[in-house]
Structure 1
Amino acid sequence: MSGLPERIERGFAAARQIADAVLLEGYVLYPYRASAAKNRLRWQFGVLVPPEYTAQGGEHSHQRTECLMEARDGDRLAVELRFLRVQRRTVEQATAAGFESVERLELADRDLVEWDEGVEERIELLVPVEELAGEGVQRPFRLPGVGETGLVHERDAVVGRVIRRREQVDGLLWLRAEELPGPYRAQRLTVEVENSSAWRPSRHATRDQALPRSLVSAHLLLGLEHGRFLSVTDPPEWARPAVERCRNERTWPVLAGPEGERGVVLSSPIILEDHPRIAPESLGTLYDATEIDEILALRTAALTEEEKREARGTDDRAGAVIDLAESMPPEVLDRLHGAIRGLREATGSTALGRPEQPWWDPGDDPGVDPERDRVLVDGHQVGAGSRVLLRPGRRRTDAQDLFLDGRTGIVEAVLHDLDGSVHLAVTVEDDPGADLWRAQGRFRYFQPDEVTPLDGTAPVEGTAALDGAAPVEGP
């Protein structure tokens, strides 16, 4: 946006590296070829489809951002809506009779194929904050349909052409702000982005047909000329009730830019933390969602020449990834292997360099004895040596534990964690490796309500009706 106040422009420039990563998150996935199965269902984040398609497509036509700001008198708010517009590309081969459509046009260095390219679009506003009161400010926008054709030359001859087409996309930006009660002069800012395209899909319209008329990877940059925003992740205590009433739909606003800066917010369809940043070791965008630079760089460099040809013909951005992986020297690749951001001592040390006494040593705590402690389960004392029936609960995150349902085990120890929870260390009966696990101190762990006592001992007096578990002090 030309003519932005210096503070906002500086803040947007610092935040734009993250905003670009959001814009292109998952744009093209390894192995970067159009024929790859995972590149046939694209555009997973921030897709706003035409309103008439929402009922049959299960996606949404709008997103809503709400956050708190402390604007000053005469302040201005800058808004930058950023998204990709799908550009459909088809390929034709030159023939004696003209041009004919083909799935693949083979060239010396690449194979051009049909593909949906992403063209970046920006809708920009600079609005006095005082105009956001009441109904606020509405800004409709229209991006007209565009078609273009480019000839493909090889060895000074026309061998084909590429046809690109972008459909018309209509949208609406709606901004408003309301003063919050209290002495702090804070305001709740609401920004809604809507796809208002008047496309009328047929009953059997597909997502593939809706995408060229959609806003893809839609997100916002918001900046105040003089004021500041409040974090929705970690707000000051006085603002917490107001933050909890903010309603964010399909976006998540975070403070952007350098640590400590509060003049810019990035509202993203991907959940981020405040002040996100790109790892300094990363040399370029790899586009793959949840990318790990080292692994992707190695795998990309290992593609066959035929695979690289198709990747270069799939998309210019994919071709740049191939070139990056091929040109990366070993010392640069080594930098991707891991980085230490900071070091601290685990236990601290004295001025003489001797280790300090740990803040808690279970071996010196007379109230803890895993081999002698007992816990009440269904009115029975259960401890080391007790036989139990295993009944893993639904909260289990390891599905393999469910295979032990109905098996029997021997309790090896009763353990208490720092949160006051009780855990039973168990070896499974009839496990041929039980002795080895026991010698190595490797057990299965269950909570008391996940076992049933099998010892046949009588319930502890006065606890026959007790369900669940309660700790018993001492052996």
Structure 2
Amino acid sequence: MDCVRAVADVVLYEGYLLWPYRRSALKNQQRWTIGGVYPRRYAEKAGDHWTVCAEFLMEDAAAADVEFTLRFLHAVHRQVMDGDAPVDELRIGDETFTTWQEAREREITSGRVSVARLLRSPVRFPVAVAAGGDDEEIGGGAGARFTRLWRRVDGTIEVSAVEAGDGVVRLRAEVVNTGAGEDRDNAVHAAMLCAHVVARAAGGGSFVSPTDPPERMAAAAATCVSDGLWPVLAGPPGSRDTVLASPIVLYDWPQVAPESPGDMFDGTEIDRLLILSVLSLSDDERREMAATDPRAAEILRRCASLSSGELLTLHGTMRDPRRDVW
């Protein structure tokens, strides 16, 4: 897997589902607390973001192109239906099915834009995800099903550039939610959740570390202003063709630890602690966890299948402290 996407997925799902991975847990009832870009009328009342932006430098940018990708989660309401009747929970055989919230991954890409074009004027791209829904039969038929519904998400991504010194350009990406929603429930369903931006250079040009720029570009880097996003260099250590602008503070070139057995959807926590906690659950707690979310069920399956050797590798590994490995 692309190492940038692997880290970006950790960002995308950080906080999506928190230990103890069950719907009844209080922390999983007030969800979507990281990186949300909400409709403006709600955000201004609640003190949340309705717009976020990131600025960073590129050198040797005269002939370069850059591509911006916005990624976020889109809240989905999952309703259990028993025939025509909506129910909170349904037990069929040994399985339990529950009404809850899920999410769909959304990705909006600008396509390649020349830096020369951005220096002349900003370019704005629409974010327009249509409302929709689908049904999924559950429990072997007999009219039992999940009905999933999601609402419309509207917004824009505006990218621009200004000269910042000899051969150096300051790039800016701004994400704005232009949708509607005044109370939290409506705002969540119209929000860009865990939103982050990935910028990739092509045809020349190199990004400059926003956190550790060369001394000759330190003054220019100090003029960069970001709000709600934290840009860092991403990809293989030493590469300079990708920036990840995340709602979570990172170092340059973050990597997922190779010992990690898979997504825990609580990505900055300690895998070993979370795995042992899952293994200590009672049978009833495991049934609730599996019914909460397909991703929770996958965590349960993965944890139960780990060998003693795989668990042992999670006790600790010595690495170069100058590298950031999650």
Q: 2:157 aligns with which of 162, 173, 198?
A: 173
Runs of 4+ displaced beyond 4 Å: none
Tell me the equivalent position of 2:309. Answer: 331
**Using the alignment, how far apart are the partners of 2:244 and 2:187 within structure 1?**
26
Q: Give structure 1 stretches of 5+ with no counterpart.
A: 1-11, 344-475
Tell me the equivalent position of 1:144. Answer: 130
- 1:35-434 → structure 2 map (5 Å cutoff): 35-94=24-83, 99-125=84-110, 126-154=112-140, 157-181=141-165, 183=166, 185-197=167-179, 199-201=180-182, 205=183, 207-225=184-202, 226-288=204-266, 290-341=268-319
Distance 1:109 1:337, change over 3 A: farther
Shift of 1:109: 4.3
Cα deviation 1:199-247 (Å, max 9, x = unaligned) = 253xxx2x22310100000001101012110011110111111111111
**Using the alignment, how far apart are the partners of 1:163 and 1:272 within structure 2?**
37
Question: Greater Rg, structure 1 or structure 2?
Answer: 1
C-alpha contact (below 8 Å) 1:50/1:213 kept by paired residues: yes
Cα deviation 1:440-467 (Å, max 9, x = unaligned) = xxxxxxxxxxxxxxxxxxxxxxxxxxxx
Shift of 1:71: 4.1
**Using the alignment, how far apart are the partners of 2:229 and 2:206 within structure 1?**
20
Shift of 1:113: 1.2
Cα deviation 1:240-291 (Å, max 9, x = unaligned) = 1111111100110000011110110000000000011111110101112531
Cα deviation 1:11-46 (Å, max 9, x = unaligned) = x92311100000000110111111111101111211
- RCO higher in structure (CA 8 A, sep ≥6): 2
C-alpha contact (below 8 Å) 1:91/1:102 kept by paired residues: yes
**Using the alignment, how far apart are the partners of 1:196 and 1:342 within structure 2?**
44
Matched residue of 1:116: which SS?
strand
**Using the alignment, how far apart are the partners of 1:14 and 1:29 within structure 2?**
24
Report % sequence identity: 36
Question: TM-score scaled to structure 2, two decimals?
Answer: 0.94
Distance 1:209 1:21, change over 3 A: same
Cα deviation 1:115-155 (Å, max 9, x = unaligned) = 1111000001221221111431111121110022222233x
Distance 1:63 1:109, change over 3 A: farther
Shift of 1:73: 3.7
C-alpha contact (below 8 Å) 1:48/1:60 kept by paired residues: yes
Aligned residues: CA RMSD = 1.6
Which amino acid in structure 1 is aligned with residue 247 of structure 2?
P
Tell me the equivalent position of 1:33. Answer: 22
